[in-house]
């Protein structure tokens, strides 16, 4: 019996990364697509609770929704495909990195998070690189390469079974933006890194003389010292951004609903 996947994204239903992912996964599984009708980058796991959602089926069979990525997954699981048992929800392929603390803001990650909240294994995928939002055939081939690597991950490793046995975990995958799969050195299990944002807000004056502000997540080139439980107590020796910079595919398991036991003890002691 073929596997069944639901895919979505935050770059919109017409994004090349979504199409590449659909085409690659369709070779190994039954795949349905429910995605936003426009770009929704940076919306995390926001749900549209104050407006109705509308759907439109494209000639491709993809379903476009006037909402967030989380809306799309929520609607697909509980209404559009309520009778379907999906093996996994896979989101992306995002145009650009989702590394470190960026997962807090990412719609790609937020859609995967929504699936996991309802007990569905979830993988968020991104193509790292400053030029992936460009135009042309080169961009398409890079997404196709990344999609092929995702398929390899699913069929060559037991990662999907592992995800099914890890409730409230999202696997966050970042693939280096390289010309050929031969340029990828392999895969690394990583912890989320953390780097300071170089300039969180850009202030500009619009043509009418009004103040306007662009928010930015662009990071400083150097990394802050990382102090994470994962790196201190395990064999993990790389953060996600370090792995991608070294030419590896980064696989970061991110656990939800995590209240650290040591922190509970520390704060409980303050209440005595």
Binding-site annotation, residues for a divalent metal cation: 10-11, 41, 94
Q: CA-CA distance, 241 to 223, in Å (whole number)? A: 9
- Binding-site residues sit at 10-11, 41, 94
Q: CA-CA distance, 146 to 269, in Å (whole number)? A: 48
Query: Could you tell me the strand order of the sheet in which 186-189 lies?
Result: 55-57, 63-65, 29-36, 3-8, 88-95, 122-128, 169-176, 248-255, 186-189
**Beta carbons within 8 Å of 82's beta carbon, 6+ residues apart:** none
122-128 and 169-176 strand pairing: parallel
Cβ-count burial of 168 within 10 angstroms (0-12 exposed, 13-18 middle, 19+ buried)?
A: middle
Q: CA-CA distance, 3 to 246, in Å (whole number)? A: 33
55 to 61, 79, 167: CA distances (angstroms): 12, 11, 30
């Amino acid at each position: 019996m073929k596997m069944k996947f639901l895919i979505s994204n935050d770059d919109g239903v017409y994004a090349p990364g979504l199409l590449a992912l659909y085409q690659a996964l369709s070779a190994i599984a039954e795949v349905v697509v429910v995605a936003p009708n426009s770009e929704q980058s940076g919306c995390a796991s926001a749900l549209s609770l104050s407006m109705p959602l509308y759907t439109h089926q494209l000639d491709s069979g993809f379903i476009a929704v006037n909402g967030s990525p989380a809306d799309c997954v929520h609607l697909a699981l509980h209404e559009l495909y309520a009778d379907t048992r999906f093996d996994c929800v896979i989101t992306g392929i995002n145009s650009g990195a989702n590394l470190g603390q960026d997962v807090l803001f990412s719609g790609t990650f937020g859609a995967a998070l929504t699936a996991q909240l309802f007990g569905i294994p979830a993988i968020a995928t991104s193509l790292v690189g400053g030029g992936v939002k460009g135009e042309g055939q080169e961009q398409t081939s890079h997404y196709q390469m990344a999609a092929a690597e995702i398929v390899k991950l699913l069929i060559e490793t037991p990662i999907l079974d592992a995800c099914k046995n890890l409730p409230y975990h999202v696997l966050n995958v970042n693939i280096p933006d390289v010309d050929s799969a031969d340029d990828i050195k392999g895969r690394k299990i990583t912890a989320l890194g953390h780097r300071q944002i170089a300039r969180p807000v850009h202030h500009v004056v619009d043509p009418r003389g009004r103040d306007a502000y662009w928010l930015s997540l662009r990071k400083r080139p150097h990394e802050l010292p990382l102090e994470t439980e994962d790196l201190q107590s395990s064999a993990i020796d790389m953060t996600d951004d370090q792995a991608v910079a070294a030419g590896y595919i980064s696989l970061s398991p991110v656990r939800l609903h995590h209240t650290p036991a040591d922190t509970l003890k520390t704060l409980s002691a303050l209440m005595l």
